[in-house]
Amino acid sequence: MTENNNEEMLQKMRHSLAHVMAQAVAELFPGVKFGIGPAIENGFYYDFDLAHHFTPEDLPLIERKMKHILGQAQKFERFELPRAAALKHFGDKGEKYKVELINDLPEGSVISIYRNGPFEDLCKGPHVEHTGRLKSFKLTSIAGAYWRGSEKNPMLQRIYGVAFETPAELDAYLKQQEEAARRDHRKIGKQMEIFTFDDDVGPGLPLWLPNGAVIIEELERLAKETEAAAGYQRVRTPHLCKDTMYHKSGHLPYYAESMFPAMEIDGQKYYLKPMNCPHHHKIYGSKPRSYRDLPVRLAEYGTCYRYEQSGELFGLMRVRSMQMNDAHIYCTPEQFQEEFLAVCRMYLGYFKIFGIEKYIMRFSTHGIEGLGKKYVDNREMWLATENMVRKALTSGGMPFTEIPNEAAFYGPKIDVQVWSAIGKEFTLATNQVDFAVPVRFDLTYKDADGSAKTPLCIHRAPLGTHERFIGFLIEHFAGNFPLWLAPVQVKVLNITQDEEGYAREVVAKLKAAGLRVVSDLRHDTLNSKVREAAIEKIPYLVVVGKKEKDAGTVTLRLRGNRSVFGVNTGEFVANLAKESAARALTGAY
């Protein structure tokens, strides 16, 4: 079976299980009314209108009823009804949500119904042959969901399930989900004191605690070193600007819903900036440019603000304030391919540093039906720039998949999909081509023949935003950051008061080598100190007792409950300094 056929069969199975779940709920909870029940990634859900409030204890009960239905091998049978008959069919049952859906269908639509056993549902299908084909599933959670996604509509109860072809695949997925829950960046971030949110500050506006600030500074140092070596110039721009700039850039017609409302000052509207590019365009245009000056690469870790809906906010992954690893490259068409591939190679270098082994470039193109609405209305330039990106990716040997109708409004884009250490997928970075906005800002360069030409602009953010990237890193490393990125790199513990002076000497040597070190010299048991330090996920715990003091050595307690005895103190300090400077993924010990 091909991959496409396999995916099609999985979709049928998951959709069919949604019907079986609805049938089970109807048999267990009479009077329930039905919303919709589609297949989704890895599973399915169904929305219910019911006086009974589902609890986690209901899920095993529903599962048992579903398995009973599967054992009956009920056939899935399709039949069609005229609109009036379909309205009466569901209206007589009091299924108001189905009636609403039918009324919203265009005149002349085929109204199909699927029946299995006593259960019938408005559905276009397809389904498996019978319920006996359905095996490996599990109901996972309960949530609230507004009917048709609108807060003006009733709140329904949604039950989610997952389903796979084999029990082994289901077990593997459930184990991955358990591990993902253990690595949840919100839980670890709180435990390690990396970030916090506060109601008085506002939802989606993270506060970075000292440990989080250390991680940010290390990431910025990495980006600045990498970008300086690649010929980028650093700039800084304000957090807000007049509305005239966003009218000029074209963002307001396309992006207004994602921007915070305007504030009025001296009769002029100002917006918090949702992106840095218009500001960078102004910097490029602040003086005449020649073809000899290009490419111009302007970089900034700029803070942007976007109005994400409250229901979409999620820890650091979806926020309203973000610090973006942003840059804009202004180049000639002849320079485009090398500049575009240089950005892609920068991604690969970062992936190596962070131990990201699986990735793919998601190449988003325009849709012709969106021209003038969702996209800038210039079909010729869309086709030309998409072909340039496609050619660059192919010639550079970059793995990519092409996705239609998901481009930025001003040009095609690459979203970089990566997988964490446990196989969880993230959208991490972006690389976009802009053929439209430089013209709006009258950006030009004098070409070799003396004519004025408009540069192409590449928008790129290899490390995304601090918020999303650090959220990813917390989950990728489960909080066990490599030495260079760990907020606290070493913690020194003494066994008795007699070694306090020696412990302080070790601390001083580590600090002199530029390492981030703290000590725990409390009059407490060593085991108690070690347990507390383990929660902090510090890479190196240094234990000093009488034996170590007399020999001028240290004992190391490492992650995984491993110990290394009799390590020369000077050698230890030197090795850690090298490990940190090299941004090594694995430890020296």
Domain-embedded: residue 450: yes
Question: How many secondary structure helices (H) and strands (E) does the chain include?
Answer: 18, 28
Domain-embedded: residue 340: yes
Given this model, what pLDDT does residue 468 score?
A: 94
CATH code (residue 35): 3.30.980.10
CATH code (residue 278): 3.30.930.10
Domain-embedded: residue 378: yes
Domain-embedded: residue 589: no
* Closest by Cα among 460, 547, 459 to 498: 547
How many other C-beta atoms lie within 10 A of the C-beta of residue 48?
23
Check whether residue 360 and residue 211 sit in a common domain: yes
Check whether residue 510 and residue 389 sit in a common domain: no
Domain-embedded: residue 123: yes
- Amino acid letter, 227: E
Tens digit of pLDDT per residue, the chain (589 long)?
Answer: 455 568 889 999 999 999 999 999 999 999 999 999 999 989 999 999 999 999 999 999 999 999 999 999 999 999 999 999 999 999 999 999 999 999 998 888 889 999 999 999 999 989 999 999 998 999 999 999 999 988 899 999 999 999 999 999 999 999 999 999 999 999 999 999 999 999 999 999 999 999 999 999 999 999 999 999 999 999 999 999 999 999 998 888 777 888 899 999 999 999 999 999 999 999 999 999 999 999 999 999 989 999 988 878 899 999 999 999 999 999 998 999 899 999 989 999 999 999 999 988 899 898 888 787 777 788 888 888 898 889 888 888 888 898 888 888 778 888 888 999 888 888 888 888 888 889 999 999 999 999 999 999 999 999 999 999 999 999 999 999 999 999 999 999 999 999 999 999 999 999 999 999 999 998 888 888 888 888 899 999 999 999 999 999 999 999 888 899 999 999 999 999 999 999 999 988 8
Residue after which a domain boundary falls, among 419, 443, 477: 477
Given this model, what pLDDT does residue 407 score?
A: 85
Residue after which a domain boundary falls, among 151, 182, 213: 182
Check whether residue 202 and residue 171 sit in a common domain: no
Question: What DSSP character marks residue 75?
Answer: B
Separation of alpha carbons 13 and 127, rounded Å = 7
Check whether residue 471 and residue 524 sit in a common domain: no
The structure tokens listed for 162 are 């997952």
Check whether residue 444 and residue 558 sit in a common domain: no
For residue 22, give its domain range.
3-182
CATH code (residue 487): 3.40.50.800
Domain-embedded: residue 249: no
Check whether residue 330 and residue 460 sit in a common domain: yes
Given this model, what pLDDT does residue 1 score?
A: 45
Q: How many CA atoms lie within 13 A of 63 on its CB side?
A: 16
Check whether residue 319 and residue 457 sit in a common domain: yes
Q: Give me the DSSP letters along 398-440.
A: --EEEETT--BTTB-EEEEEEE-TTS-EEEEEEEEEESSHHHH
Check whether residue 376 and residue 519 sit in a common domain: no
Check whether residue 7 and residue 39 sit in a common domain: yes
Check whether residue 230 and residue 347 sit in a common domain: yes
Q: With contact defined as beta carbons under 8 Å apart, do 330 and 438 qualify?
A: yes
Q: Give me the DSSP letters along 171-232.
A: HHHHHHHHHHHHT-HHHHHHHTT-EE--TTT-TT--EE-HHHHHHHHHHHHHHHHHHHHTT-
Check whether residue 233 and residue 173 sit in a common domain: no
Domain count for the chain, please give it: 3
Separation of alpha carbons 363 and 412, rounded Å = 7
The model carries a pTM of 0.84
3-state SS of 466-529? HHHHHHHHHHHHCCCCCHHHCCCCEEEEECCHHHHHHHHHHHHHHHHCCCCEEEECCCCCHHHH
Domain-embedded: residue 418: yes
Residue after which a domain boundary falls, among 137, 153, 182: 182
* Closest by Cα among 382, 431, 388 to 411: 382
- Amino acid letter, 43: G
Given this model, what pLDDT does residue 375 score?
A: 79
Check whether residue 385 and residue 460 sit in a common domain: yes
Domain-embedded: residue 157: yes
